Amino acid sequence: MPLLQVTDLVKHFPVRGGVLNRVIANVHAVNGVSFSVARGETLGIVGESGCGKSTLGKAILRLHDATSGKIAYDGTDITSLKHRDMIPFRRRLQIIFQDPYSSLNPRMTVKAMLREAIRFHEIVPNTELDTYIKSMLAKVGLPDDAMNKFPHEFSGGQRQRLGIARALALKPEFIVADEPVSALDVSIQAQVLNLLMDLKDEFGLTLIFISHDLKVIEHFCDRVLVMYLGHIVEEIRCEDLLDEARHPYTQALLGANPINDPADRRPLAVLEGDVPSPFDPPSGCPFVSRCSIAVEKCQTMPPLEQHSDSHRLACWER
């Protein structure tokens, strides 16, 4: 049984307007997404900005309530659990946010910030709080004196390490890492990624890693979901990504990656056009307006079909 099973998950955000503040439209953020995550696996989710990656991650953790669909964690349907019933799962399911500054309370010291969550979930006795916090900071490469500092006293990379320490402090089983390195310099990105890989092995974590960078996904993850306009258009093992990816959007993302060989002077492939508005998504295939191989049949939504044990694809022409 998979640790996480998501079935037909939909998340729409209502847009209100007019004199009576009625719902006049919906933002179609996530549209009927289904997938599973095995215990100990690292699943990547990739796509352009606005494709629904972060919304999907937050909906899984019930930071957003789903419009419809089902989220089952370790065999329990958590989709509609009330706040009180969700508390045990809040400890087991954690998130590392994208922005390492706005996700930290600027008025709280590191010690106060970590202590609040640890005491609420009764992770360790009060007499062991300071020792436990120091050990968490050491795990992410921060010194003991970081306990008494405020978030503004740290660099961007150090703040992201604090975000990781905050997630790990509750001894979770499952973490959603929402673009945890996108706001960092390249050299710092590598440090944080290596830290996450080490901590995953040490703590036996299951991860969903959200990114817009296929290079990072390929290096860090076991399997990847490619999202476009709230839909999964392809699911494939990372080791097969370069040779077996078949969806035109996945191939466009791969073509836009920087080329490793400095002697190779081929121009990077550029995907033309913009992602359609989630207020008014196109009918049929979500990628139809930017696809170079689109045909008349693409005006009908292609199903996400199983092409092999580890490969799913939603494309009429492939």
Q: At residue 58, does pLDDT exceed 90?
A: yes
What does the alpha-carbon distance between residue 26 and residue 10 come to, in Å, rounded to a whole number? Answer: 12
pLDDT, one tens digit per residue, over 267-308 is 666 677 777 888 888 888 999 888 888 888 888 999 999 988
Quote the pTM value. Answer: 0.92
User: What totals of helices (H) and strands (E) does the chain contain, helices first?
Assistant: 9, 12
Q: At residue 318, does pLDDT exceed 80?
A: no
What does the alpha-carbon distance between residue 45 and residue 3 come to, in Å, rounded to a whole number? Answer: 17
Check residue 81 and give its pLDDT: 93
The top-level CATH class assigned to 4-98+172-186+200-313 is: alpha beta
* Length of the chain measured in residues: 318
Angle subtended at Cα 302 by Cα 301 and Cα 304, rounded to the nearest 5 degrees? 125
Residue 22: phi, psi to the nearest 5?
-85, 160
pLDDT, one tens digit per residue, over 238-259 is 999 988 999 999 988 888 776 6
Of residues 188 and 204, the one with the higher pLDDT is: 204
Percent of the chain with pLDDT strictly greater than 90: 60
What does the alpha-carbon distance between residue 311 and residue 301 come to, in Å, rounded to a whole number? Answer: 19
Are β-strands 76-77 and 22-37 bridged in parallel, bridged antiparallel, or unpaired?
A: unpaired
Check residue 261 and give its pLDDT: 65
Residue type, 237: R
Q: At residue 214, does pLDDT exceed 90?
A: no
Q: Strand, helix or coil at 242? A: helix
What does the alpha-carbon distance between residue 261 and residue 267 come to, in Å, rounded to a whole number? Answer: 12
Tokens of 251: 């191939």
pLDDT, one tens digit per residue, over 80-139 is 999 999 999 999 999 998 887 788 889 999 999 999 999 999 999 999 999 999 999 999
Check residue 245 and give its pLDDT: 92
Instruction: Give the CA distances from residue 244 to residues 132, 139, 210, 311, in Å, rounded to whole numbers and listed in that order.
Output: 46, 38, 21, 9
What does the alpha-carbon distance between residue 314 and residue 123 come to, in Å, rounded to a whole number? Answer: 44
Closest CA to 204 of 166, 165, 173: 173
Tokens of 62: 């019930």
Q: For the chain, what is the mean pLDDT?
A: 89
- Within 39-145, where are the H helices? 53-60, 83-92, 110-120, 129-139
Of residues 197 and 255, the one with the higher pLDDT is: 197
Check residue 289 and give its pLDDT: 86
Asked whether the beta carbons of 199 and 205 are under 8 A apart, the reply is: yes
Percent of the chain with pLDDT strictly greater than 70: 96
Of residues 267 and 215, the one with the higher pLDDT is: 215
Tokens of 275: 């992602």
Per-residue pLDDT, averaged over 143-159, amounts to 90
